Amino acid sequence: MATIRVRNTGEQISDEAKVRQFLADQNVYYDHWDTDQLPADLRGRFVLSDDEKQQVLDAFQSDIESLAKARGYVKWDVISLSDATPNLEDLLKKFEQVHTHTEDEVRAIVAGSGIFVIKSQQVGYFDVVLEAGDVISVPENNPHFFTLTDERKVVAIRLFIDPSGWVAHPYADPEFQQA
């Protein structure tokens, strides 16, 4: 279950109903998928071949198709990151820049964990710590970025409206401070 930390106040939100309400109030879509669908031989693995990534997509096909139909996604893929990922530090530096997109950014965490840092007009920046099963969609044109937790490993399904994928538009913000 996701947890939230509001950066300006230090407020922590971990109760499921309160997390869902907080995210809904910020226009952030949130859901939770059953990760027992992940094939047993892929659990705990964070270096995946293309065939194994396809197995992940096949395992969550029903959830993906349901979300795609409801929200207009036309393409999806799997990203897997860990300390074994070549150039991980460079990738994280690229990810950890506040930016926006012209479509929403969606991730379904199927293993490991990650953090979305999101800006809200109401509360400023807040961190959403995501665990396996958490599904989140940051609205289009909303400043944000994604990074790893201290666990430093994640397998996530990403869904796209534009088949060519997201284009990050840098968002220089004097209010943002790395925490």
- Report the CATH number that the domain containing residue 159 is assigned in CATH: 2.60.120.10
Per-residue pLDDT, 171: 82
The per-residue pLDDT for range 6-51, each reduced to its tens digit, is 999 999 999 999 999 999 999 999 999 999 999 999 999 999 999 9
The per-residue pLDDT for range 104-119, each reduced to its tens digit, is 989 999 999 999 999 9
Q: Model confidence at 126, in pLDDT bands (50, 70, 90)?
A: very high
Assess if residue 57 is contained within a domain. yes
Check: CB of residue 77 under 8 Å from CB of residue 158. yes
Q: Model confidence at 93, in pLDDT bands (50, 70, 90)?
A: confident
Assess if residue 111 is contained within a domain. yes
| DSSP letter, residue 163 | T
Per-residue pLDDT, 179: 54
Q: Model confidence at 178, in pLDDT bands (50, 70, 90)?
A: low
Q: Model confidence at 166, in pLDDT bands (50, 70, 90)?
A: low
Q: Model confidence at 138, in pLDDT bands (50, 70, 90)?
A: very high
Distance CA 155, CA 14 (A): 22
Looking up tokens 């666990």, which residue turns up?
151
Instruction: List the domain range (segments joined by +) for residue 144.
Output: 3-170
Assess if residue 59 is contained within a domain. yes
In the predicted model, is pLDDT for residue 120 greater than 60? yes
Assess if residue 34 is contained within a domain. yes
What b-and-e string marks burial along 144-165, b requiring 16 or more CB atoms within 10 Å of the CB?
bbbbbeeebbbbbbbbbbeeee
For the chain, how many structural domains are there in total?
1
Per-residue pLDDT, 150: 95
Mean pLDDT, to the nearest integer, of 77-92?
A: 92
The per-residue pLDDT for range 54-83, each reduced to its tens digit, is 999 999 999 999 999 999 999 999 999 999
